[in-house]
Structure 1
Amino acid sequence: MSSRKMMPEFEFIVGGVALVCVGIIGCLLNILCITTFSRMSAQKNFHRLMLSLALFDTLYITTSIILFGVPALYPYVYNNSFYLRLIPIILPLIHIGLTGSIYFTVAIALERYTTVCHPFFKLTHAWSAATYILPICIFSLLYNIPKFLELEIGTFPMNKTRYDFTNKTITTTTIAPEITESLDDDSMEVSSLQDANFTVYDNRTIAVMLERVVPSSLRKHPLYVQVYIIYLNLLVHGVIPLVLLVGLNIFTYKRLRLYHNSLDLSVGQGTLQLREVRLSQVSLVIVIVFVFCHGIRWIPNIWELQHSENQKLKWPVWIAYITHVSHLLTVFNSSVNFLIYLIKHPTVLIRTFRPHNHSTYQETNMNGGDVTTILASKKISCTTQIVPCDQTEFMSTQL
């Protein structure tokens, strides 16, 4: 059996069943992540960034299920006029979720890098989570505004009809919808047509129009395709985050190995040093999964870049297979971040959701050169202030 004939089954299994199942589990995990971190008594910047990442991941997963998963399971959803009009809105939302997910992953890696490699700098500057969150949210929205102008609804004459002169009717033939797209290419053409009967009077036929989602004039402009679709997407969604993630995590990993050999484990597993190390290990695993899942996504884009001079570019079958795998892996990546966190912090759900009257928590605030640690419970409360010495001694004792 040829690869082209196997495509419908492959799309149904990978792009439909697997993507929807992974996406539903991912949405549940992200909702649990949002609930857990929002209920924490002592939130670090890391927790707030993870919460923001979960929000954008949920947006990406939900829109991916609607745009990619549902049509793979039920192709004739394209015959629904309402669904057809959602596509020009859903596709930009996917890119907003994708951009936010990418750069919140970078922000988590940067936050861990400053904590592990430059702890004295972090204490003296005391950046809040808003320093990371606001710029990323604004950039994710502004950068993807052109996406809302790329697709539009067009109408075209119907070219397939069946004449029944006995009943003097014309019955439209339902056309199987065809969609040619990829998440990064965005070139899309979708047909929509409902079964309908039209009466013939005096040899006159009522015209049947076909609705389609087509690229706008902006999307078809060669300069826009070359600059924004290919080169900017390659830099913003590929090269820049990849270089930052690899570089930051190499330095963080080297410093973690040094700290691991020098940590004083006699004070127990609840020390500030060990908690920071565990959070950094979570960040490293998140980045490794991210690089693997998003690396495949760039194969179609690199192929398109190599053939960008061809105005009548025709995508080969193997690119379609990779595109479906890419959609599944990016949804998987957006689904497992909180699961990675739970592997390193298995008791966080118990501590977060147990009744407050039995809870004991520790809150560490960094402000200028002081570290204030607050222990609170129903029976006791104490405050300890630690003023660090010079940077060399601080780095050897704190992490």
Structure 2
Amino acid sequence: MNRSETFMEPENFVTFELVVHGFLVLIIGTIGIIGNIFCLLVLCRPSMRNSINCLFIGLAFIDILLILSAFVMFSLPAFQVYVERKFMWNVIDVYQYTTPFVYPIAMITQTASVYMTLTIALERYLVVCLPLKSRSICTYGRAKRCVFTVIIFSTSYNVTRFLEYSFETFVIDEERGITVTFLQSTDLRENPLYISIYINWLYMVFMCLVPFSVLFLVNLRIAWGIRQARMERSRISSSQRNEESLAIMLMVIVFIFIACNTPAMISNIMETFQIQAVKLTQISNLLIVFNSSISIFIYTTFSRKFRRILLQVWHRKRPEDDVLFRWKAEGGPNLTGNRSTRTISARRGARVLTATTSLEFQREISS
């Protein structure tokens, strides 16, 4: 994520930033935050407890933080610049006071989003291409450790971002004691070697080349695995069909991820060679926010179970309400017959409830 400076740009650049960074990032990001909150409410249900959903929970938290940091870094400064130029008002420079803290968080969340998507792709690869081994590898506990590992790696990789900017105070009038505080880039941020190696080349390797290459290869391998499985089986079980649905959903997530992050990669390559592309940078920032905002639409498109539980959350139904409804429909206790009939019906209903509940906890997100 890059902050494009437009304070000294022509009027058309200011207007373009207002539309892209101001309105579009704010609108899409707000929808994304609401959607990710609903994703968390659904995925945190006990019936959704499995490895892939644990990774999706981590991704939802990361996406929320990424969108919030984008609001502070892009939307607020865009409105500030427009108001200052349009109405000649002196507005507090939000960007100046928040950059030393929000900018590192934005970079951490962007890195975490990239590698969390990569982790999800690798998990689906194991399930589709190595199903027997995946049963012991892809556990809920290991998924939680993967989430924490991604967060620790992302924070460690971007820890120097906290040292790139600082506040400098200058004395304007010693007699009156008037001082002014400005945001200044530190010596580290101005170091040519640091810029060349860390900001440009390492970013290109760890944020573009490595994840993009692995995601592309994993997607191809998953697609090939699905094709082989369909050719070898004339009939597939419900669980196998669910795994295929999840794999296809993952392929869509990866495709959208690559499409939304490619402009950012191009923008950073251009900056590496000192080629300015302000509008491309702003569009790439918008696409990164868009990528973090559409998860709920992908889940609801490919997962019947997610849609059903989302409706429960929306209508504030208890998790067991849907199970009880299906239990009654499949032969729950008959409360209007004689005692023997009620006993037989209740026993049969208990067996149905047990089977239904067990199946409910075994299904994954796409059931």
- The equivalent position to 1:303 in structure 2, one of 262, 265, 270, is 270
Q: Secondary structure of 1:41's match?
A: helix
Does residue 99 in structure 1 map to residue 111 in structure 2? yes
Moved more, 219-228 or 14-23: 219-228
Gaps of 5+ in 2: 1-8, 325-348, 360-367
**C-alpha contact (below 8 Å) 1:152/1:213 kept by paired residues:** yes
Moved more, 59-68 or 342-351: 342-351
**Using a 3 Å threshold, how does the CA distance of structure 1 residues 78 and 137 change in structure 2: closer, same or farther?**
farther
Matches within 5 A, 1:61-76: 61-75=67-81
Query: Partner of 1:381 in structure 2?
Result: 354
Does residue 59 in structure 1 map to residue 65 in structure 2? yes
**Using a 3 Å threshold, how does the CA distance of structure 1 residues 384 and 252 change in structure 2: closer, same or farther?**
same
Whole-angstrom distance in 2 between the partners of 1:377 and 1:219: 67
Q: Could you list the per-position Cα deviations for residues 106-125 of structure 1 after superposition, in whole angstroms to 9, with x for gaps in the alignment?
A: 01100000000111221244
Matches within 5 A, 1:216-295: 216-263=186-233, 271-295=238-262
Normalization by structure 1: what TM-score? 0.71
Query: Partner of 1:50 in structure 2?
Result: 56
- The equivalent position to 1:133 in structure 2, one of 115, 137, 147, is 147
The residue type equivalent to 1:358 in the other structure is D
Normalization by structure 2: what TM-score? 0.77
Does residue 90 in structure 1 map to residue 102 in structure 2? yes
| 1:208 CA displacement | 5.8
- The equivalent position to 1:332 in structure 2, one of 290, 295, 298, is 290
Q: Secondary structure of 2:166's match?
A: strand
Query: Partner of 1:359 in structure 2?
Result: 322
Q: Could you list the per-position Cα deviations for residues 147-182 of structure 1 after superposition, in whole angstroms to 9, with x for gaps in the alignment?
A: 111101123577xxxxxxxxxxxxxxxxxxxxxxxx
| 1:9 CA displacement | 1.1
Q: Secondary structure of 2:292's match?
A: helix
Does residue 121 in structure 1 map to residue 121 in structure 2? no
When the two chains are superposed, the root-mean-square deviation of aligned CA atoms in Å is: 2.9
Does residue 320 in structure 1 map to residue 287 in structure 2? no
**C-alpha contact (below 8 Å) 2:42/2:309 kept by paired residues:** no
The residue type equivalent to 1:245 in the other structure is L
Identity %: 27
| 1:80 CA displacement | 2.4
| 1:299 CA displacement | 1.9
| 1:85 CA displacement | 2.5
Query: Partner of 1:9 in structure 2?
Result: 15
Whole-angstrom distance in 1 between the partners of 2:149 and 2:136: 22
Whole-angstrom distance in 1 between the partners of 2:234 and 2:133: 23
Whole-angstrom distance in 2 between the partners of 1:44 and 1:264: 28
Name the count of aligned residue pairs.
Answer: 313
Q: Secondary structure of 1:155's match?
A: strand
Gaps of 5+ in 1: 159-197, 199-203, 308-314, 362-375, 386-399
| 1:226 CA displacement | 1.5
Q: Secondary structure of 2:49's match?
A: coil
Whole-angstrom distance in 1 between the partners of 2:224 and 2:138: 24
**C-alpha contact (below 8 Å) 1:153/1:212 kept by paired residues:** yes
The residue type equivalent to 1:8 in the other structure is V
Query: Partner of 2:333 in structure 1?
Result: none
Q: Secondary structure of 1:211's match?
A: strand
Which structure is higher in strand share? Answer: 1
